[in-house]
Chains A and B, each alone.
Chain A
Amino acid sequence: MAGPAFRSLPDGGLSVRLGWRERELLVDAARRLRPVLSGDEDLPRVRGRLFPPAYDDPEAEAEYRNLVGDSLVEERVAALDAFLATLEGGQTRLLAWHATLDAEQAAAWLSATNDLRLILAGRLGVADESHWETGPDLSDRFSVLLYYLGWLQERLLTALSGRLPG
Chain B
Amino acid sequence: MTTAAPVAPERVDRPAGDERGERDRPWDVIVWNDPVTLMSYVVFVLRKLFGHDEPTAVKLMMRVHREGRAVVASGPREKSEMDVARLHAHGLQATLARD
Contacts and interface: CB of A to CB of B under 8 A. Distances in A.
**Interface residues of A, dominant DSSP:** helix
Contacts of A111: 90-91
Interface size range of chain B in the complex: 20 to 34
A114 B41 contact: yes
**Interface residues of B, dominant DSSP:** mixed
Interface string A109-137: 01100110110010000111101100000
A43 interface: no
Interface in B37-84: 37-38, 40-41, 44, 47-48, 51-54, 81, 84
Contacts of B52: 166
Contact of A164 (B35, B44, B90, B96): B44
A56 to B, nearest CB: 7
Contact of A55 (B44, B48, B95): B95
A52 B88 CA distance: 7
Interface in A117-166: 117-118, 121, 126-129, 131-132, 150, 153-154, 157-158, 160-161, 164-166
